[in-house]
A and B are shown apart, each in its own frame.
Chain A
């Protein structure tokens, strides 16, 4: 049957139209998939929306001096992050063998190290906005808040997940996931590996963190 036969041609056009509709239908369905089912925690979402954007804005504020920015960032971290819990977590298995003196030294060194690192990393972003898209309750008091960062230096919408713990109106951030990588988990594996390679000597890690603290010249790349 020749291709120009009316019936076959109509069928071909119908198939093309159906394919186009199917493709757009798939696209619509895929878009709808962004909304994950399951219980949400609105208070945790509100906490992240307000405070995460605050952190980004502080670091992007070019009107502040370096000292002002450091002080503001320090206060903001205290307010939004559960620093003791994170400090304990990143030690991994060594959290149960570290002595109190080392724990204090580590806490001080890690705090200064983390602020410097995250200030530097987040300082690369300017003008971005964060929008919370939902949340998943992992267990009571342990929530993953999903968000998207857009604008500024970000070409494609950047998914960022925030793990927050707490209850009622009191929430604190314990970890952040960017492009599928949890920062505290990565930090833990980094630190545990460093201590492992030092034969279990936590002092080596502490010395390394103190070496890279603000005021010390960083190792040139």
Chain B
């Protein structure tokens, strides 16, 4: 996954702008306008960026998740670069860790960790189908190719490593590892709770972190849940959604997994604002590298069942896309306190989709 940053992203941006999916193409006009709205919002927030993910070991500077953010000649965000004493070894470890994290991110689409409060379910009549739909995936050809690459990587590299980890590590130990990983993410969750205006949740998360880090021995034991303090997740993508930023197009990156434009930028912000990383020095340090690797391995291990379940899907790509979309939509609704809109099982065949299509002023497409 090596690529020079500037040519790739410049080409990607040029292609994007001149794509046949531009708003002048009637078939995609309704959906693409919405997508462009989402992208424009992202550009305003991030200073005009087209995200890509590359792994660039450059000399003695390692960049694991280098989101080559370029747009209008500006770099709105950059990754941390740190010199290490053993660049070759660190590069390999970071590459593996990054691949694990990305694979885990993909797995997270189907099996997010942690317990979240049960979202409210809508009372109003529903006509919409679950999201995202095919029309929310204008880049589906590229995404499918990326998905195939990602699944191959998981089958031949990430999966075997994970199963080896599971083979040598007893289940009780793996659960303790998961608890530590989860605990280290609590400060980031609390920050996003505050950003979303959820003081109660922030307080609960902070309490969990304090209790589990002290009484729970650095998070090894989840004492807080036993005290009635349930865990939940919050991230910057959710925070953006909370304030009305639309998700934008669905994306699938071979290393990073499923995302949309909004949540992809959210992930990046989370990486650079993670309090634990800021305090301990980031992924360039031994602790940071170890944390990244363990987090990726743990997440992939936890989601092994979900990944195996894809074998039963007739279209695994669509299944991952659907699960990811539902999960992210649920998280944003939870942040907004909104009820969930569900399809009507009693509607005549196709009626639900037809009503949604009429509302969006576009013809039904057999795709």
Contact = CB atoms under 8 A, between A and B. Distances in A.
Interface residues of B, number: 66
A6 interface: no
Contact of B116 (A89, A144, A159, A209): A159
A185 B125 CA distance: 17
A117 B121 contact: no
Interface in A144-180: 144, 146, 155-159, 161, 163, 165, 174-175, 179-180
B178 to A, nearest CB: 7
Contacts of B134: 192-193, 196
Given A30-B200, A30-B203, A194 B118 contact: no
Given A92-B353, A186-B130, A30 B201 contact: yes
Interface stretch (A32-40, A50-58, A63-71, A73-81): A32-40
Contact of A186 (B114, B118, B133, B319): B319
Contacts of A159: 115-118
Contacts of B364: 93
Nearest to A197: B315
Interface in A82-115: 85, 88-89, 91-96, 113
Interface string B174-204: 0100110000000000000000000111111
A31 B111 contact: no
B119 A180 contact: yes
A121 B313 CA distance: 13
Contacts of B353: 92-93
Interface residues of A, number: 68
Interface in A7-66: 22-27, 29-31, 33-34, 36, 38
Interface in B97-137: 110-112, 114-123, 125-126, 129-130, 133-134
B322 interface: yes
A129 interface: no
A144 B175 CA distance: 31
B287 to A, nearest CB: 25
A133 B231 contact: no
B111 to A, nearest CB: 6
A221 B229 CA distance: 39
Nearest to A135: B121
B170 to A, nearest CB: 14
A181 B206 contact: no
Contacts of A146: 118
Interface stretch (B34-42, B244-252, B260-268, B342-350): B342-350
A173 to B, nearest CB: 11
A139 interface: yes
A189 B342 contact: no
Given A23-B206, A30-B201, A185 B326 contact: yes
B178 A180 contact: no
A36 B134 CA distance: 33
A120 B345 CA distance: 26
A188 B118 contact: no
A26 B321 CA distance: 36
B122 to A, nearest CB: 7
A26 B203 contact: yes
B206 A92 contact: no
Given A96-B348, A161-B118, A181-B323, A218 B311 contact: yes
A113 B366 CA distance: 25
Given A95-B349, A189-B321, A194 B315 contact: yes
A133 B349 contact: no
B142 interface: no
B328 to A, nearest CB: 9
B118 A34 contact: yes
A-B pairs, top 9 by smallest CB distance, nearest first, are A26-B203, A95-B349, A193-B318, A185-B130, A180-B330, A96-B349, A189-B322, A144-B121, A196-B367
